[in-house]
């Protein structure tokens, strides 16, 4: 596709529900990042993939958060037993080379609201 | 751990005014520096970046930023802003050996027509 695509655009979950957020990076992009952006804050790093390998997951806030990219393209961020503090915009970004030294292309994000 | 500080959370200017947005980072090693911008209703996009060489970097739409290593700063400037510059601006830093970039909290810029 022309850009990074994320779905759904909006997600409302009841506290305790599991959610899955999808990211389709630009075709051929090696690197994929997930960020969490709370209201009024900057994006906070969650995790990074180089192809299918998850090289850094230091930003995942708890073991309720899990990300995968099994074939090195589409990635899914899963949040189990959602809590109100998980409410945020989840951003996906990809780049053509390793890491974020090259330009990052961001998706529009998934806005998660946990009630 | 590295961090990024943006001094102004909200800036309001009239068209044709000059702009300077402050950014400081807290890592003493070699870094790459970025400014990203998010226009209303759009996704984050790269405005400019510094890797090495000339510390004065020019980006799109007339923006520039100056890397001052001794001050750990990377301030964004534009001599004359336009209404279309209304957006949120994020400073970001990447340690040379790290793969991720760390973002500041952002500065909301509002330009009055």
The more confident residue out of B56 and B98 is B56
Q: Do residues A65 and A83 make contact, with C-beta atoms less than 8 angstroms apart?
A: no
DSSP string, chain A: --S-EEE-SEEEE-TT--EEEEEE--TT--EEEEEEE-TTS--EEEEEEETTEEEE-TT--STTEEEE-TTSS-EEEEESS--GGG-EEEEEEEESSSTTSSPPEE---EEEEE-
Of B46, B90, B105, the CB nearest to A103: B46
Determine if the peptide bond prior to A88 is cis (ω within 30°): no
State the best of B4, B24, B43 to mutate against chain A, taking most chain A CBs within 10 Å: B43
CA distances A109 to A65, A92, B19, B31, B85, Å, are 17, 7, 29, 27, 22
* The predicted structure's pLDDT at residue B96: 80
Confidence of residue A1 (pLDDT cuts 50, 70, 90): low
Confidence of residue A65 (pLDDT cuts 50, 70, 90): very high
Of all residues in chain A, the one with the smallest CA distance to B52 is A101
Across the interface, do A101 and B4 touch by the CB < 8 Å criterion? no
* The predicted structure's pLDDT at residue B7: 87
* The predicted structure's pLDDT at residue A101: 67
Task: Check residue B72 and report its DSSP letter.
Answer: T
State the best of A9, A43, A50, A56 to mutate against chain B, taking most chain B CBs within 10 Å: A43
Cβ burial B25-56 (10 Å sphere, 16+ → b, else e): bebeeebbbbbbbbeeeebbebbbbbeeeeee
* The predicted structure's pLDDT at residue B2: 74
What average pLDDT does the segment A7-29 reach?
97
Q: How many CB atoms lie within 10 A of CB A57?
A: 15
Share of chain A above pLDDT 90, in %: 90
Q: Does the structure show a pLDDT above 90 at B35?
A: yes
Confidence of residue A25 (pLDDT cuts 50, 70, 90): very high
Which of A6-20, A22-36, A64-78, B93-107 has the lowest average pLDDT? B93-107
* The predicted structure's pLDDT at residue A40: 87
């Amino acid at each position: 596709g022309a850009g990074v695509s994320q779905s759904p655009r909006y997600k409302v979950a009841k506290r305790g529900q599991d959610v899955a957020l999808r990211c389709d990076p630009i075709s051929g992009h090696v690197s994929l990042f997930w960020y969490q952006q709370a209201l009024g804050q900057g994006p906070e790093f969650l995790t990074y993939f180089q192809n299918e390998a998850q090289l850094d997951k230091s930003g995942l806030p708890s073991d309720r958060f899990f990300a995968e990219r099994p074939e090195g393209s589409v990635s899914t961020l899963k949040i189990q037993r959602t809590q109100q503090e998980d409410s945020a915009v989840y951003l996906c970004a990809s780049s053509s080379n390793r890491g974020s030294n090259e330009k990052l292309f961001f998706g529009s994000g998934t806005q998660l609201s946990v009630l | 751990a590295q961090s990024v500080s943006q001094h102004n959370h909200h800036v309001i200017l009239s068209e044709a005014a000059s702009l300077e947005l402050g950014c400081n980072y807290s890592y003493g090693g070699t870094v790459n520096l970025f400014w990203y911008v998010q226009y209303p209703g759009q996704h984050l996009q790269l405005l400019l970046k510094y890797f090495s060489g000339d510390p004065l970097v020019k980006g799109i739409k007339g923006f520039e930023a100056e890397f001052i290593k001794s001050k750990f700063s990377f301030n964004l400037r534009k001599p004359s802003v336009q209404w279309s510059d209304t957006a949120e601006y994020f400073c970001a830093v990447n340690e040379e050996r790290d793969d991720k970039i760390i973002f500041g909290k952002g500065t909301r810029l509002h330009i009055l027509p």
